[in-house]
Amino acid sequence: MPIKHPNLKLTRLTDAVPAWTGDITPEYLFEICQQVRDGGGRLVALWGSDVRQQGGGFLLHITLMNESGLVCLNVPLPAEHPNYPDISRIFPAANRMQRAAYDLLGLYAHEGHDHRKWLRHGAWHGGSFPLRKDFDAAASLTHEPEDYPFVQVEGQGVHEIPVGPVHAGIIEPGHFRFSIIGERVLRLEQHLGYVHKGIEKRFESMSVQQGAKLAARVSGDSTVAYAWAYAMAAECIAKVTPSSRALWMRALLLERERVANHLGDLGYLGNDVALSFGFAQFWILKEQVLRNNAALFGHRYLMDKIVPGGVTTSLDVEGKHIIEQECDMLDEQVRILRNIYDEHAGVQDRFIGTGRVEPKLAAQLGLCGMAGRASAQAWDARVQFACAPYDKLDVKMATYRNGDVAARVIVRFDELFESLRLQREIMVNLVHDNEAPALLEKLPANGFGIGLVEGWRGEVMVAIHTGAQGNLTRVHPHDPSWQNWPLLEHAVIDNIVPDFPLINKSFNLSYSGQDL
C-alpha cells in the first residue's frame, strides 16, 4: 500500500503496473500530497471530470507516484463551486495542469496565486468549459485572441525577444518570450496551447478501438508509448491480460520507437552545434530503422500496431533475423559516431555546461523521463514498475548527474545501446504465430483504468473512465512534457540566446502532447 492515511481507503486496480485508487475529500488533499512529497514521491498527472449527470458534481483526479506504485486520488467537488486547494505549493508541476483543468472544466484551485489561462487562448469564451457535458460548442466560439500577461522583467538594458508561435525550423508551434540583457537570457517564459485540438473531448464520442487510434496521435513521435498506455488502461478496466506474445511485441515496438527518436535527436544535436555530418549520419541510421519498420510491421512509425487486447502485427523468423542484423549494424555505427562526438572539441565545448539543470532543482520541480535521468532523477517505469515483459528483461537505467546538454546526450547514447540489447533479448523470447488478437470491443460500465509506459521522452500515462454503457466518458492522456517544459525555462537562465535551440533540442519536448 503506497499511502497510509486514516481518511483514505485504497483499492488495488487490476493492472500491469502497481496502481491503487481511492476517494478523498478536498480538506485532506493537501496533507496527502505533502506526505507523498515528503516520502520522495512525485506528481504524475492532474485532470478533472464532470459527473453531474450521474448525480454528483465534478471530480478532480490526481495521480501520485512513489516507490511502491501509483495512486489515483478522486476528489469530489460540488457542482456549484468546484474549488480545491492549490497543490502547486507542494508540486510546482501542478501549476499548468491546474490552469488547464480550469480552462477545460472550470475546476478552480483556490489559494493559488497564478490563475492565468493556459490552454484557452480566446477561441472559446472564458466561462464556457469544453469538457463539461453541457458545453455548447457552437454558442461558445469567439474570434478574439486574448492577450497573455507575461511577467515583465524590468531594469536598465533589459529587452524582450518574442519567438513564435511559428518557429524558424520544422518544429511544433509555441510562443517563447525571452527577457535578455546583451546576449544573456535573464528569463524565458513559455506560452503553449497553440495546437490545442480538443483531443480529450474527441475521445468522448469514440468507441474503445477508435480511441486507440486517437491516443496514438496525441504526440506522433510517441505513438507506440501512447497506444500501449491506452491499451493498458482499457485492459485494466476489462480485467484482461494480453497474450505473452503480444506483450513481447509491444516491448519490441516501444524499444524501436526509442531507438528511432534517440537517433534522430542525436543527429539534430550535432547539427545544432554546426556538425552537419552528425545529422547526415544519424539520419541515415534512423531512415534504415524506419524502412525496416515499414517492411516488417507496415508502418514507419508503428502507428496503430498496439490496440486494446493485443497487437495487430507479428514477426516471423526472417523478420527476427532482419532486426538482429539491424541491431548489429547500429551497434557498430553508433559506437563510431559516439567516438567522433566525444573526440570533437567544438561539439563538446558547446555541449558541456550548457543548459544545466542541477539535480536538486530537478527533484524540486519534478523533472522526469530521459531529461530527468540526465539530472540524477532515477525514475524509469521499465525499472521501478516493470510491467510484463519488462519484468523479465532487467532494464539497466541510464542516469547521470551533470544535467547539461552533454548529460542528455550521454543518456540518449546509453539508452540507445540498452534498447539494442533489449531488442536482442526480446528476439530470443518472442515466438511467432499468426493468432488473431482478441480485440477489446466493449469495456465494462463505470470503470476506471490507468496505463503507464516509459516512452522515449518519459513516462506516458493514459487514464480512462467509462460510463453507464461502457462508453468512454473521459480519457486523459498525460505527456511527461507537462513536467519538463517548466524546467526548460530554468535551464536557459544565464545561457546565451544562440544556445537556446540546442538546449531546447536536448529536451525535445512535445507541444501536441501537452496542448491536447
Partner 1 sequence: MYQILKQIIKTGIKSETPPQADDGMRLIEQRLQQEILDVFGGALAIRQVDAGSCNGCELEIHAVNNAYYNIEGLGIKFVAGPRHADLLLVTGPVSRHMEVALKRTYDATPEPKLVVAIGDCACDGGIFCSDGAIGAGENYATCGKVSNVIPVDVAVSGCPPTPVAILQGILTAISAGRHGAQK
Task: Provide, rounded to whole angstroms, the least separation between the CB of residue 136 and partner 1.
Answer: 9
Give the 3-state secondary structure of residue 85: strand
Give the 3-state secondary structure of residue 465: strand
* Binding of partner 1 by 512 (CB under 8 A): yes
E strand spans, 352-471: 448-454, 459-466
65 φ/ψ angles, rounded to the nearest 5 degrees: -135, 135
* Binding of partner 1 by 135 (CB under 8 A): yes
Select from 145, 149, 155, 157 the one that contacts partner 1 (CB under 8 A): 145
Q: Which residue has the cell 490545442?
A: 196
Mark residues 276-295: x for contact with partner 1 by CB under 8 A, - for none: -x--xx-xx-xx--x-----
- How far apart CA 404 and CA 381 sit, in angstroms, is 23
Closer of 56 and 198 to partner 1 (Cβ): 198
CB-side neighbour CA atoms (13 Å) of 381 = 29
Q: Which residue has the cell 524509469?
A: 380
The interface with partner 1 within residues 101-130 (CB under 8 A) comprises 121, 123-124, 130
Give the 3-state secondary structure of residue 293: helix
Number of neighbouring beta carbons within 10 Å of residue 108? 16
- How far apart CA 143 and CA 378 sit, in angstroms, is 45
* Binding of partner 1 by 340 (CB under 8 A): yes
Binding part of the chain for partner 1, among 152-160, 216-224, 350-358, 398-406 by CB under 8 A, reads 216-224
Task: Provide, rounded to whole angstroms, the least separation between the CB of residue 467 and partner 1.
Answer: 17
Give the 3-state secondary structure of residue 338: helix
The interface with partner 1 within residues 239-268 (CB under 8 A) comprises 264
- How far apart CA 368 and CA 104 sit, in angstroms, is 25
* Binding of partner 1 by 332 (CB under 8 A): no
* Binding of partner 1 by 373 (CB under 8 A): no
Asked if residue 485 lies in contact with residue 192, where contact means CB atoms within 8 angstroms, the answer is yes
Select from 37, 213, 421, 424 the one that contacts partner 1 (CB under 8 A): 213
DSSP 123: S
* Binding of partner 1 by 30 (CB under 8 A): no
* Binding of partner 1 by 218 (CB under 8 A): yes
Give the 3-state secondary structure of residue 477: strand
The interface with partner 1 within residues 152-211 (CB under 8 A) comprises 165-166, 168-173, 193-199, 201-202, 205
- How far apart CA 159 and CA 467 sit, in angstroms, is 52
Select from 6, 138, 147, 428 the one that contacts partner 1 (CB under 8 A): 138
Task: Provide, rounded to whole angstroms, the least separation between the CB of residue 371 and partner 1.
Answer: 17
Asked if residue 103 lies in contact with residue 118, where contact means CB atoms within 8 angstroms, the answer is yes
Task: Provide, rounded to whole angstroms, the least separation between the CB of residue 69 and partner 1.
Answer: 30
| Residue 173 φ/ψ region, left for φ over 0, alpha for ψ in the -120 to 50 degree band, beta for the rest | beta
Nearest to 270 by CA among 324, 351, 328, 193: 351
Closer of 89 and 300 to partner 1 (Cβ): 300
Task: Provide, rounded to whole angstroms, the least separation between the CB of residue 151 and partner 1.
Answer: 21
CA dist list (Å): 340 to 127, 259, 281, 327, 343: 56, 19, 11, 20, 5
Mark residues 301-320: x for contact with partner 1 by CB under 8 A, - for none: x-x-----------------
* Binding of partner 1 by 140 (CB under 8 A): yes
Task: Provide, rounded to whole angstroms, the least separation between the CB of residue 95 and partner 1.
Answer: 20
- Residues lying near partner 1 in the complex (CB under 8 A) are found at 121, 123-124, 130, 135, 137-138, 140-141, 145, 165-166, 168-173, 193-199, 201-202, 205, 213-214, 217-221, 223, 264, 277, 280-281, 283-284, 286-287, 290, 300-301, 303, 336-337, 339-340, 343, 510-512, 515
